[in-house]
Amino acid sequence: MTVVDAGFDSATAPLRAELLAHCYRMSGSASDAEDLVQETYLRAWKAFHRFEGRSSVRTWMYSIATNVCLTAATARRVLPVGLGGEPSNPLEPVVPSTEVLWLQPLPDRALGDPGEAAVAREGIGLAMVAALQVLPAKQRAALILRDVLEFSAAETAAALETSVASANSALQRARASIGDGAAQEGRRAAELSDHEKQVWDEFCAAFERHDIDGVVRILAADATWEMPPIPGWYRGAEAIGELSRTQCPAQVAGDLRMVPTVCNGLPAAAMYLRSPAADGAGGDVWLPFQLDVLTFTDGELTHVSAFLDPADLFALAGLPAELR
């Protein structure tokens, strides 16, 4: 490693977690955010010899990351409830949609040690990120830089490669578009009450013992449930119970195994589904099936976002690829 490489690593490596969170807020995709961060570091490394210290390394890196994200900007990512429409019938077959770009959760484990990544954890709640996705990319960047990261107007303008007046205008339009939409968030896992922790545990236990009535009992009566890439969403504990009874491939106790985890700062559960072992070793193996992110409001479990086909997300969460 050269002196320049060593200097680059020592100056930029501590910023990786918060840059990952920034790219996630911008893209709405944990997988894309990883790629965007890699591109950010590649561009920064190539340009490091020209860095003159006119701004902090942190501000410089955020400017590069923001422009990487703006260059890569695609159609906005959504959750099923964000598509609008009426709740779906739980008795109708569920059909995935490949025509929609779906929002992904961000496992907290991807951000590293909680003490080192405090900045990264701000503004990454699912409701916040979903609200940000409604905005055009430049407005989204302006709002994140000013209101989440608390950059100055001048720093924001520099990151966006525009004038202060233009950056302020983008910020005002973004605030007007979102309104209070970004503030509606569930309780963070670290702040759950003893009762909420007990509900989280029971949520996992009820699915493991295939106790759908138990799941229904712990959900709020008007709870909602969504499971991208399925475009429909469901309202009411009884409807959610019917969905689980008729659509879930698990049929008996032990078909599912649940591992508590944390995503977007929220309590979550990794769901593994039993399958015959494919390596000829005999017995069963439990493979990633879905990643459930839970929203608690006023002590009740009010919403579940269940992300199907989550193998990449399990890896980001540091979860095993299989259970035996």
Assess whether pLDDT exceeds 60 at residue 148.
yes
Average the pLDDT over 28-49 and give the result. 95
* pTM value > 0.85: yes
Average the pLDDT over 168-187 and give the result. 81
45-83 residue pLDDT tens = 999 988 877 788 999 999 999 999 999 988 889 999 989
221-256 residue pLDDT tens = 999 999 999 999 999 999 999 999 999 999 999 999
Assess whether pLDDT exceeds 60 at residue 113.
yes
Report the alpha-carbon distance of residue 318 to residue 321 in Å, rounded.
9
What is the pLDDT, as a whole number, of residue 121?
A: 73
Assess whether pLDDT exceeds 80 at residue 115.
no
Q: Which domains does the chain have, with CATH numbers?
A: 3-183 (no CATH), 189-316 (3.10.450.50)
